[in-house]
A and B are shown apart, each in its own frame.
Chain A
Amino acid sequence: MSESTQLGSQLVDLCSVLLLLSCFAIVAQRRLSACVDLFALQSFFLATTAALVAFLTGHRHIYLAAALTVVIKVIVLPRILRKVIERLNVSRELVMNINIPAGLLICGGLVVVAFFITQPIIPLGYLLTRDSLALALAIILIGLFTMIARKKAVTQMVGFLVMENGVFLGTTAAAYGMPLIVELGVFFDVLVAGLIAGIYTHRLQDAFDSVDTSELTVLKE
């Protein structure tokens, strides 16, 4: 392995690890607005990783994906989520299904699981981005965990977006990005999903005076 690839590979690894770290920060954060800020930061790291991969491999179309990430996930979606929070009467998540220390421990476990699952398939990957696939799966699992552990509609949405970031890191790492039409479609879906969730929080607020999804208990067996 030449020295420059080695350096590049380490840089990509560094960025991916920053992504993972911001996941942990989200899990440890009670304030809703801080969660959104952390998500924006994570998306920024994601865009950096993608741009880095694009620079090192010469795959131009990844630049486009990185730019879209900045526009949609760093600027637009956090702005929508902040607007939603402004309208709400609560800014902190007081009751959680799982408390923060336990949550962090579980997330640590999820990272181990992710590395364990991806072990057999990692050797197939490109040298540059090998370890990012495991990190991507870890981020997806932590996003999933956030959605289960939190009760506020906003944090559930953040959890979903974190999962989406994990998948995106996976595509960049595993295959240097998906075909363009697929990537555009995915961005479109994520954007619309964010908008729809924003509208929902309005309507839920009006109907239930709360966006605490634990209040959503009318429908039961």
Chain B
Amino acid sequence: MWPVIVLLAGPVLAGLLSLVIQRPRLLHAVNFTTMLALALAETFLTGQVLAEGSVTTLGTLVYVDALSDFILIIITTIGLSCSLYMWSYMDEQVARGVIAPKHLGVFFFLFHMFLFAMVAATMANSLGVQWVAVEGTTLATTFLIAFFRRRESLEAGWKYLILCSVGIALALFGVVLTYYSSVRVLGDASSALNVTALIGVADRLDPNVLKLAFLFILVGYGTKVGLVPMHTWLPDAYTEAPAPVAAMLAGVLETVAVYTVLRSKALVDQALPPQFTGNLLLTFGFVSFVVASLFILLQHNYKRLFAYSSIEHMGLAMVGFGVGGLVGTFGGLFHLLNHALAKALAFFAAGNIHRRYDSLEIDQVRGLARSQPITAVATLVAGFALVGLPPFSPFVSELLVVSALSAQNFASDTMHVGRFVAVTVSDEMRSLGLVGVFLFFGVVLFGGMMARIGAMVWGAPQDKITRGEAWTVGHVPVLAMIVALLVLSVMIPESLRTLVTRAVHVIVVR
């Protein structure tokens, strides 16, 4: 019980404290201590989940199973590294006069409210409370995106607020429809949206209502995931947000949004054949992947480049979930973690570059290797990881997703042996064709990304750029992430593997 309380109360307390504390040092200390406490609590919670299967506490408000615990691991890990990175990043912004010292407290307040909303969305038992929390993330982050108060950032913040609010209103209608179907079966109005109550009766819910509900939920939360064509807010928001916020948005918020979709998928799949949700996710994922990889070719701003890469990776994870089965789902979940690490690393590096070169244009950045050696390595590693090169862990998860995609008809038919006869040559051709297109756009993406990152890293820096990179506390998470990406590519720790495997069984219900 207490890890849950720490996870929920920690950010709220830290947020309120940030409003009263004046001294920057103390603010950072509070922030870091809170994140450390959250990470510790999460470790204990994971132990509990591994031992007991799931944890229901605080009445029935909180429900943590392997799936939500896995998402919590991503939240706390990226959150912890962000808190270290912010230490040097925010101090420098204050020193340069970009933000007034008194605004630092507000920044941390919003940051912790954002964190609280994400933790609450992940732990919520009721789909309704989950919705409230996801809308809470929108409200908390819009001012974080617009924090530097430039014209562009205000525009990005407003666009984000409006588009995500619309999306989320549609998702609420989806939740209402879910309730419409479940209250008829469960009768008890107060628990009829609880995952714990729904799991048992989901197969008796009305399929027609659930179909409509899932469509609304997918489009609604899909807006937050940044699936094409609901993605238009995303590149602007990621470009304008301060680097640590962009890292949180890309690494964590997207993951939480995907999680909300997965929760509904797990329910709907019990009442309908998994092909229904599977095909929808596959289509949205595939389109996002293709469109994003084409847009990457057009980018001349490195933060936008990473933003489109986020859309592409979420598309890829969605393809994994859409194909489904044990391999595809495992690949998708593992990819969420890998993407979070790689993307946070990319935005940390982008933040370092931006502070040195004062420009977001790729053309203006030359000779990173000489001016900022550590950042250059980080940029290269992030780039390699994001295009799916070994020996970095996204390679492994992408390989899993692609192999699940290529074997999809076989995979689904070994699960439903009765349908084995129905496998035809055209089915095989279809999945191979899909893989072909997929890999083609993977190559497009590879070219687009690497050309631009290469252009930034090599060459000679302009004369006005100072050379050499002093060691700061902000470099600790950068190094840690490089190591994590390397290690996860060769081995997944036993407990993590067990957790993800169990999470897969939460999603794959038949």
Contact = CB atoms under 8 A, between A and B. Distances in A.
B169 A160 contact: yes
A84 interface: no
B165 interface: yes
Nearest to B156: A219
A145 to B, nearest CB: 11
Given A124-B209, A179-B126, A182-B128, A140 B158 contact: no
B202 to A, nearest CB: 16
A175 B176 contact: yes
Given A175-B189, A179-B190, A147 B162 contact: yes
Among A120, A121, A143, the one with the most B-chain Cβ atoms within 10 Å of its Cβ is: A121
Interface in A168-207: 170-171, 174-182, 185-186, 188-189, 192-193, 196-197, 200, 203-204, 207
A216 interface: yes
Contacts of A20: none
A207 B151 contact: yes
A179 B208 contact: no
A181 B128 contact: yes
B188 to A, nearest CB: 10
Given A121-B208, A124-B209, A160 B180 contact: no
Contacts of A3: none
Contacts of A86: none
A219 B206 contact: no
Given A179-B190, A218-B155, A120 B162 contact: no
Contact of B166 (A147, A171, A188): A147
Contact of B139 (A144, A192, A221): A192
A213 interface: yes
A98 B209 CA distance: 33
B129 A153 contact: no
Interface string A3-43: 00000000000000000000000000000000000000000
A175 B129 contact: no
B318 to A, nearest CB: 23
A46 interface: no
B40 interface: no
A208 interface: yes
Interface string B152-163: 101111110110
B173 A179 contact: no
Given A193-B139, A204-B154, A185 B128 contact: yes
B143 interface: yes
A117 interface: yes
B404 interface: no
B101 to A, nearest CB: 20
Interface string A116-130: 011011001100000
A149 interface: no
Contact of A216 (B132, B159, B172, B192): B159
Given A196-B139, A196-B142, A163 B169 contact: yes
Interface in B166-212: 166, 169-170, 172-173, 176-177, 179-181, 183-184, 189-193, 206, 208-209, 212
B207 to A, nearest CB: 10
B370 interface: no
Nearest to B151: A207
B189 A121 contact: no
B169 A200 contact: no
B149 interface: yes
A90 to B, nearest CB: 17
B69 interface: no
B161 A196 contact: yes
Interface residues of A, number: 49
Interface residues of B, number: 50
A58 to B, nearest CB: 13
Q: In terms of DSSP, what is the predominant structure of the interface of chain B?
A: helix
A147 B165 CA distance: 11
Interface in A132-158: 133, 136-137, 140, 143-144, 147, 153, 156
Contact of A189 (B132, B170, B191): B132
Contacts of B184: 124
Contacts of B135: 189, 193
B298 interface: yes
A159 B417 CA distance: 51
B158 A153 contact: yes
B239 interface: yes
A104 interface: no
Nearest to B136: A189
A179 B176 contact: no
B166 A163 contact: yes
A193 B184 CA distance: 32
A175 B179 contact: yes
Contacts of A166: 173
Contact of A200 (B154, B181, B190): B154
Contacts of A160: 162, 165-166, 169
B129 A181 contact: yes
B177 A193 contact: no
B166 A196 contact: no
Contacts of B131: 182, 185-186
Contacts of B173: 136-137, 140, 166-167, 170
Nearest to B209: A121
A121 B157 contact: no
Contact of B169 (A164, A192, A213): A164
B162 A189 contact: no
A197 B139 CA distance: 10
B312 interface: no
Contacts of A179: 126, 128, 189-193
B206 A124 contact: yes
Interface string A72-97: 00000000000000000000000000
B55 interface: no
Q: What 9 pairs across the A-B complex have the smallest Cβ distances?
A: A182-B128, A185-B132, A174-B180, A216-B155, A163-B169, A189-B135, A219-B236, A120-B208, A121-B209
Interface of A: 117-118, 120-121, 124-125, 133, 136-137, 140, 143-144, 147, 153, 156, 160, 163-164, 166-167, 170-171, 174-182, 185-186, 188-189, 192-193, 196-197, 200, 203-204, 207-208, 213, 216, 218-219, 221
Given A125-B180, A179-B191, 11 more contacts: A156-B162, A170-B173, A174-B179, A174-B180, A179-B189, A185-B131, A186-B132, A189-B135, A200-B157, A204-B154, A221-B298
14 contacts: A121-B177, A121-B208, A125-B180, A153-B158, A167-B173, A181-B128, A182-B131, A182-B132, A185-B129, A185-B131, A193-B139, A200-B142, A213-B158, A219-B239
